[in-house]
Amino acid sequence: MHRITKITGYVAIILVVLSFNFFLPRLMPGDPLSFLTGAPGMDMPIVLDEETRAKLLTYYGLDKPLSQQFYDYMLGILHGDLGWSIYHNAPVSDILIGALKWTFLLVGTSTALYMVLGILLGAISAWNRGGKSDVGLLVSLLSIGSFPPFFLGMLFIILFSVKLNLFPAFGAQTPFMEYSSLLEEASDILYHLFLPVTTLVISHIGGVYLLMRNSMLNVIGEDYILTARAKGMAEWYIMRKHATKNALLPIITMIALRTGFMIGGTILVETVFAYPGVGRLLFDAVMYRDYPLLQGAFLIITLVIIAANFVADMVYVQLDPRLKHD
Amino acid sequence: MTLLEITSLKTWFPTRDGIVKAVNAVDLKIEDKEKLGLIGETGSGKSILGMSIIRLFHSSVKINIEGKIMYKGKDLLRLSKEEIRKIRGKEIAMILQNPTTSLNPVLKVGDQIAEAIRLHQRLDKRTAREKAVEMLKAVKIPSSDKMANKYPHEFSGGMKERAMIAMGLACDPSLIIADEPTKGLDVTIKMQVVKLLREVTKQRSMLFITHDLGVAAEICDNIAVMYAGELVEYAKTEDIFKNPLHPYTQGFLNSLPERGLKPIRGMSPSLINLPDGCRFHPRCDYATGICKTRHPEMVEIENGHFVRCLLYD
Amino acid sequence: MTEIKDLNRFWNAYKESRLGLIGLVILLFFVTLAVFAPYIAPYDPHEMFKPMEHPSSDHLLGTNDIGQDILSELIYGARVSLFIAFFVSVVSGIIGTAFGLLSGYFEMFGFFLMRIVDAFLAIPRLPLIIVIAAFMRPSIWNLIFIFIILGWPITTRIIRSEVLSLRTRNYVEAARMVGAPDTYILMKHILPNVFPLLVVRLIIEASHVIIAESSLSFLGLGDPVVKSWGMILHYAFVYPTIFISDLWMWWMLPAGLCITLTILSLTFIGYALEELVNPRLRGMTRI
């Protein structure tokens, strides 16, 4: 019963997002196509040839009634038709799929790293509350987490790419390179992945660290920790077996919500490092006023985040034995 | 044979508002197979006294413990962290208050019992689990095999208390410290728990901490009364009831429902700002001028009956 | 009378947190820069001199690509960045608290409002802002407007859950039984207890806005005339030789550090406040 309400909720949100995507260009001041044809008052008039203009008109279907447009739009989404990119002159869905794999690689690696590290460091900090390691971790993580991701990225480029020449400053792979083996390709990818991932991890580890630390501090004060100690269990065992699971429960959902925040950082990091992911595509689309691509990228990003939230919701219910029996 | 001997135990907590003097120079002895009751109201320091025996405090809590606690030839307060861990659960087991919060909600009850067994007796997982089921049976929990696989929230209040007792007994300790084992339980359940405790501690010593004198009377051989961090009276159970000497003990007895529910006037003192002289004098009907300035010593009035009061000094 | 005493007690407790004090000092520094910008900055930030000048006695941080003095830009940038951050956090805080109080206290209203809040929160903030900003003219007030619209839902949710738990407290029940009107209960009993939470939220929201605004500006979507720190970084970043030469040292680094330090100060202050407000986190040692 509970599950059905949850799923309906998510479906509703997806519909809201889709509608938002549909209505946004139509709600913006002025005739929707004026920004495409460069009406007076716009900053970046774009000159379109007749062919592209006709394609876009059909895409937006502005001659048809609104309900018809909406229906066509929804149908198109279901078929994976996200429109035609002006700048890249190719179907939006193709471009997005090519970029998605890079974003997944970047976000996946970073998330795994900062979550594991953040949880571990948060637990250690809480267990040694007030001690040297706690204060040191707290101050340093809070401080380096204050660097905006794009600034941090720029500093890394200057330090590691330009000055020390250790890592490349842009791209996901070395351009025009021929690989002799899978291993060589993998290592080239990792080589390019290193700085962006480090930037993202440093930017986000502070949040999870604090969450875990707080949650752990709450758990430490609980009676069952005393009971475990009364049985003679070792401190690290208690921290691992008794405390961590209890401390993780309330923050699992919060961690999933953080993926939403992480997207912002990802867009910035991809831009700074010219990493060919969806975030960078979004940014380019904004720069070139490539509206179909813009909408498509935004839609994909939002859907992925909603999916992440959904997964977290389901996982949480599985983990807490008290909820399983309701 | 004296199993545990506490000499001059002081447990103090420095806090921002002042030093909390929870236990002040307490002397106590527990013999082999003796059941000693430790009676006092909330805030008297009795739980802290129990915890001090096995130094059950979180490492980040600032605490000062002084004195001597001799157990089987060793001073527990001088042992290293490793050594005291070996004692906890195995030699001296403490059953903490409030089983609802003292059991880990995300671990199965059987596992929580088994882990102590695995640690102290070095048994493998399966044998330890079998022993855990045995323990649940020993505390009269029905379908012990099934219940061992369940989580604490699936147990009733009385069953949770029994599970705590099972956890305490699992490694066959010589001394059990039971902190308020009957608090919050229905009267019938209370009696069942008391009966159970009587049975399982036949061959063991027990320090029974409670504010419920009636329950203590059922189990304990001797009773020590604690007030504001120190012992004010000590005697055999029957002597406490027949001939309570300290005004606080008398007041305590009078506050029982059977004796009229007469409360002791005033409030329990702050453990940071203890009254001068006799700690009880602000609430004592028999207090005289000297009680305000002189702190009484513990003296033996009759055979085995001690009291700390200027009335008898 | 009691309010002054409470404020004193609050300040005394706050003073104990070293991080909180450091944060406060840094923030006050930037606020001073912002408030007294016209008196501190050596030049008008729009005035144009010789472009791409290296740091000299005339221009301590050199000039940018169109000849404006970078140091003056930086000082005036404090005004822009801080103004946006605090304006947005206060206004969205007020709106969020008002909605939070109402939705926590009145069931029906709360149910519908929370659906809207859920929808807002499900959509990721930065991409949404980027998309909206792409369709709108980049100006400071447009940015502020967007941030406020996107900022109030989180505050509403937090305040609402606090109100829900406060509603069941004894003194609230008692007041209702005596027949006190709802507005009275809200104002007298619930709002004062929600206040500490609100203050913490304000600080955290301000730090988020600074990050969001500087990120947006960095991407080129900020106000090109009323330059914030993020905008300075944008122009630096798109300049071709920014990384290869030493240009970054005086053009990029100071602006980035200003943003970082401001966020740092707000983070420290927020941390200190949270320790005060949440007693479970308190221990013997204050960090």
Q: Which residue has the tokens 């020390």?
A: A164
Hey, which of A309-318, B187-196, C82-91, C272-281 has the most confident mean pLDDT? C82-91
Annotate A217-280 with DSSP letters as a single string.
HHHHTSHHHHHHHHTT--HHHIIIIIIHHHHHHHHHHHHHHHHHHHHHHHHHHHHHTT--SHHH
Pairwise CB contact (< 8 Å): C119 & A148: no
In this prediction, residue B220 carries a pLDDT of: 93
Token pair, residue C54, equals: 């290296």
Pairwise CB contact (< 8 Å): B16 & C283: no
C166-223 confidence digits (pLDDT tens): 877 777 778 878 877 877 777 777 777 888 888 888 999 999 899 989 988 888 888 8
In contact, A133 and A124? CB cutoff 8 Å: yes
In this prediction, residue A38 carries a pLDDT of: 45
Q: Hey, is the C-beta of C124 within 8 angstroms of any chain B C-beta?
A: no
In this prediction, residue C183 carries a pLDDT of: 77
Pairwise CB contact (< 8 Å): A43 & C221: no
A298-316 confidence digits (pLDDT tens): 888 888 888 877 777 777 7
Mean per-residue pLDDT, B197-216 = 91
Residue A40 binned pLDDT confidence (cut-offs 50, 70, 90): very low
CA closest to C13 among chain B residues = B16
Residues in C touching A257 (Cβ below 8 Å): 121
Least confident of A81-95, A232-246, C70-84: A81-95
Helix, strand, coil in percent for chain A, rounding step 5: 75, 0, 25
User: Does position B312 have pLDDT exceeding 90, yes or no?
Assistant: no
Using DSSP's 3-state secondary structure scheme, residue A325 falls into: coil
Cβ neighbours of residue A90 closer than 8 Å, sequence gap 6 or more? A84
Tell me which H or E stretch contains B10.
strand B2-15
User: Does position A45 have pLDDT exceeding 60, yes or no?
Assistant: no
C215-258 confidence digits (pLDDT tens): 888 888 888 888 889 989 988 888 887 777 778 888 889 999 99
User: Does position A158 have pLDDT exceeding 90, yes or no?
Assistant: no
Nearest to A174 by CA among A187, A183, A157: A187
Least confident of A13-27, B150-164, C197-211: A13-27
Residue C259 binned pLDDT confidence (cut-offs 50, 70, 90): very high
Mean per-residue pLDDT, A98-120 = 90
In this prediction, residue A18 carries a pLDDT of: 79
In this prediction, residue C239 carries a pLDDT of: 84
Annotate B269-290 with DSSP letters as a single string.
PPSSSPPSSSTTGGG-TT--GG
Chain A nearest C-alpha distance from C177 (Å) = 34
In contact, A59 and A292? CB cutoff 8 Å: yes
C16-37 confidence digits (pLDDT tens): 888 889 999 999 999 999 999 8
Nearest 5°: phi and psi at A214?
Answer: -60, -45
Amino acid at site B57: F
Chain A nearest C-alpha distance from B57 (Å) = 8
In this prediction, residue C91 carries a pLDDT of: 95
Least confident of A36-45, A116-125, A188-197, A237-246: A36-45
Residues in C touching B17 (Cβ below 8 Å): none
Hey, which of A220-224, B203-207, B276-280 has the most confident mean pLDDT? B203-207
| Higher pLDDT pick, B172 / C115 | B172
What is the strand order of the sheet B299-302 is part of? B92-95, B175-179, B205-210, B35-39, B222-227, B230-236, B305-307, B299-302
In this prediction, residue C54 carries a pLDDT of: 84
Of A223, A241, A325, the CB nearest to B101: A223
A258-306 confidence digits (pLDDT tens): 777 788 888 899 988 888 888 888 888 877 777 778 778 888 888 888 8
User: Does position A43 have pLDDT exceeding 50, yes or no?
Assistant: no
> Average per-residue pLDDT in chain C?
83
In degrees to the nearest 10, what's the CA dihedral of A266, A269, A271, A275? -90
C115-134 confidence digits (pLDDT tens): 888 878 777 788 888 877 77
Pairwise CB contact (< 8 Å): A246 & B104: yes
User: Does position A200 have pLDDT exceeding 50, yes or no?
Assistant: yes
Residues in C touching A128 (Cβ below 8 Å): none
Question: Which segments of chain B does DSSP mark as H helices, in order?
Answer: 46-53, 81-87, 99-102, 109-121, 125-138, 144-148, 157-169, 187-200, 213-219, 237-242, 247-254
Q: Which residue has the tokens 């050594």?
A: B83
Residues in A touching B88 (Cβ below 8 Å): 229-232
Nearest to C91 by CA among C3, C190, C198: C198
| Higher pLDDT pick, C87 / C65 | C87
